[in-house]
Structure 1
Amino acid sequence: MTGSTGILNTAQGRFRVSVQGDPLAPALILSNSLGTTHEMWDPQVAGFAQSYRLIRYDTRGHGGSPVTPGPYRFKDLGRDVLAILDALDIERAAFCGLSMGGHTGLWMGVNAPERLNALIVCNSAAKIGTAQAWQERAEALRQGGAAQMRTLADSAPSRWFGEAFIQQSPQLVKAMQDALAKLDPLGYAACCDALAESDLRDQISRIAAPTLLVAGQWDPVTTVADAQAMQARIPGSTVAVVPASHLSNLEAPEAFERAVLNFLAQA
């Protein structure tokens, strides 16, 4: 098994990318949520890399990937994924994204179906939140800068995790908060712009790839009902509910990994 982390030159810019697993295995690319980096997937690396060539990357505006002037749109974020696959000489891959990353996957399913073997959309929705709320958050970050990022990080646990998990895993929760606080506020705000603008509810019926929709049982941000609404529109899709809140791969890693690997084995 091979593994590397570094900066990858692509047609869309220089992205921080990690690659693990057998180069000849089927490719699986993971896309992070808003306010995280690709390290959010650390609990899944060992399990996924056993069977797949695993690619993780920091979404535009996050971590070591480019912070270009906003606003961003999901066509930008989706084209970033295509550019990363091209730079790695990968024609087709399975895609798994959470929250913002899951919405990027929906865009891919609609607009680049020829590049997908399978699609896993986790803790996401075809329309996430309201345009006004995202616009207000983006404006607060542009005005408040790093101090506002720290404020956002202070309030993040209740949006990300269930109360029991927050009490049981304080070190992980703090590490996620610290990572959020260090992100570039303008990159984060530009991703908020993308979330404010995007509504794929009338387009996802065109998704043809085998699709799994993972929902957190107690997720207050993107609910089980959101997953069920997508299932009603995406032909042949299935829903898996795991005992977690929003960052389900961290709160319920074993159930999450089992749901994804079982689906991929069948897909």
Structure 2
Amino acid sequence: MRGFRWPPPPDGGPRTWGPGPGGPRTGRPALPEPETELIATPHGVRLEQLLTGAGDPVTVFAHGLGNGIATTRPFGSGVTGRKLFFQFRGHGRSDAPPGPWSYLDLARDLRSIADLGGATRAFGASLGAGALCRLLAESPERFERLVLFLPAALDRPRGEVARARLTALFEAVESGDAAAVADVVQAELPPAVRNTPAGWAYLRQRLDQLLRDGLAPGLASLPEQAPLRDAGALAAVTAPALVIGCAGDDLHPVEVAEQLAAALPRATLHVYDRPGVLWTERADLRSRISAFLNE
């Protein structure tokens, strides 16, 4: 495999026709970013939100650390009803109140968007799965159906490898050096996708987002925290849940997904045999999520 390099080759970026962001020819997980709105919440933090779809039920989608609306939209492509995508504090155009922050703060963000939008179903990815678990520990009957994708931590902080990767991301974004950010972000891509037009397009989209919006300092301590003190707090959750993990994912150890599925009384666990499922198992993943939520 050719070594990673930045900037990309001349044909490596997204093609653009007309106004607005372009897209790759194939394979990018994130969709172009549409116009969003800022929502005032009861706890005084304005959060960026995108509402799509029509009718009931309503599903709220919570993203991972350093990600946002664009990277969670593909998960809802086959989900019926209205879909609420939002940015946690410190991401995108959402407010960044003085930190540091805890998973309780993130759970408040998630609860506010869900309550204001009337959501009865919830999806959480990575950090968003942790925030969802924190919310469920306090309000176990809040949602009717749950999907938790690649949970990163439950009752223990993230491991050393994950903390080192995230620290490198924070430092690279703070430096404003596109090459340094690209060097960290490219680890999100499966090796077979790197140095392909689709891979470069995804990388450019992620860099545009991170270098434009940055990462608020209040997020830096989250990798050292755990969403829950005791996973047993989830024993009262009554909703059916789908927990999705991946073998070989350093940022999202499969053991966390297994522990979470065991802690939720009505959970179904699905484990993919390799990471990068948005690239390698995209159709199956979207079908699995929509079939479960639409059931």
Is 1:61 matched with 2:90? Answer: yes
In structure 1, what is the equivalent of residue 59 of structure 2?
28
**1:58-109 CA deviation, whole Å, 9 max, x = no partner?**
1110001111111111111111112123333x1x421111110111111122
Quote the residue 2:48 is aligned against.
16
Which of 59, 77, 84 is matched with 2:113 structurally? Answer: 84
1:131–1:195 Cα contact (<8 Å) kept: no
For 1:177, which of 207, 212, 217 is the aligned residue? 207
Equivalent AA in structure 2 for residue 74 of structure 1: Y
The ranges of structure 1 where at least 4 consecutive aligned residues each deviate by more than 6 angstroms after the TM superposition are: none
Correspondent of 1:97 among 108, 124, 132? 124
8 Å Cα contact 2:68/2:92 also seen in 1 = yes
Q: Hey, what does 1:227 align to over in structure 2?
A: 257
CA deviations on 1:223-246 (whole Å, 9 max, x unpaired) are 223211222222121112346525
Following superposition, the deviation at residue 208 of structure 1 comes to: 2.8
| Distance change (3 Å), C-alpha of 1:107 and 1:149 | farther
Give aligned-pair identity as a percent: 20
Q: 1:112 — aligned with what?
A: 139
Q: 2:183 aligns with which of 115, 135, 154?
A: 154
Aligned residues of 1:29 and 1:54 also touching (Cα < 8 A): yes
| Corresponding residue SS for 2:46 | strand
**CA spacing shift, 1:205–1:131, aligned 2, 3 Å:** farther
- Bigger CA radius of gyration: 2
Corresponding residue of 1:42: 73
Q: Aligned partners of 1:149, 1:110: CA distance in 2, in Å?
A: 39
CA drift of 1:178 comes to 3.0
Q: Distance in 2 between matches of 1:40 and 1:63?
A: 12
Change in Cα spacing, 1:56 to 1:136, as seen in structure 2 (3 Å) is closer
Rounded to whole Å, the distance in 2 between the matches of 1:69 and 1:250 is 36
Deviations 1:145-196 (A, max 9, x none): 34378634421221x23212334422113312332233333x1x42232331
Q: State the SS of the aligned residue for 1:230.
A: helix
What is aligned with 1:5? 36
User: Could you tell me whether the CA contact under 8 Å between 1:214 and 1:240 is conserved in 2?
Assistant: yes
Corresponding residue pairs, total: 255
8 Å CA contact 1:157, 1:177 repeated in 2: no
Which residue does the alignment assign to 2:221?
A: 193
Aligned to 1:145: 174
- 2:226, 2:68 → 1: CA distance? 21
Per the alignment, residue 21 of structure 2 pairs with none
CA contact (8 A) 1:153 1:181 kept: no
- The residue that corresponds to 2:286 in the other structure is 257
Instruction: From the superposition, tell whether residues 35 and 150 of structure 1 become closer, same or farther in structure 2 (CA, over 3 Å).
Output: farther
Letter in 1 for 2:120: A
**TM-score of the aligned structures, taking structure 2 as reference length:** 0.75
Q: Going by fraction, where is strand more abundant, 1 or 2? A: 1
TM-score by length of 1: 0.82
Distance 1:137 1:45 in 2: 26
**Whole-Å Cα distance in 1 between the matches of residues 165 and 195 of structure 2?**
30
5+ residue gaps, structure 2, are 1-33
Contact kept in structure 2, 1:166 and 1:173, CA below 8 Å = no
Using a 3 Å threshold, how does the CA distance of structure 1 residues 150 and 59 change in structure 2: closer, same or farther?
farther
Indicate the structure with greater helix content. 1
- CA distance in structure 2 between the partners assigned to 1:84 and 1:38 by the alignment: 13
Letter in 1 for 2:211: A
In structure 2, do the counterparts of structure 1 residues 252 and 137 end up closer, same or farther at CA, with 3 Å as the change threshold? closer
Contact 1:6–1:17 (Cα < 8 Å) also in 2 = yes
Q: Which moved more, 1:139-148 or 1:37-46?
A: 139-148
**Could you say what the CA RMSD is over the residues aligned between the two structures, in angstroms?**
3.0
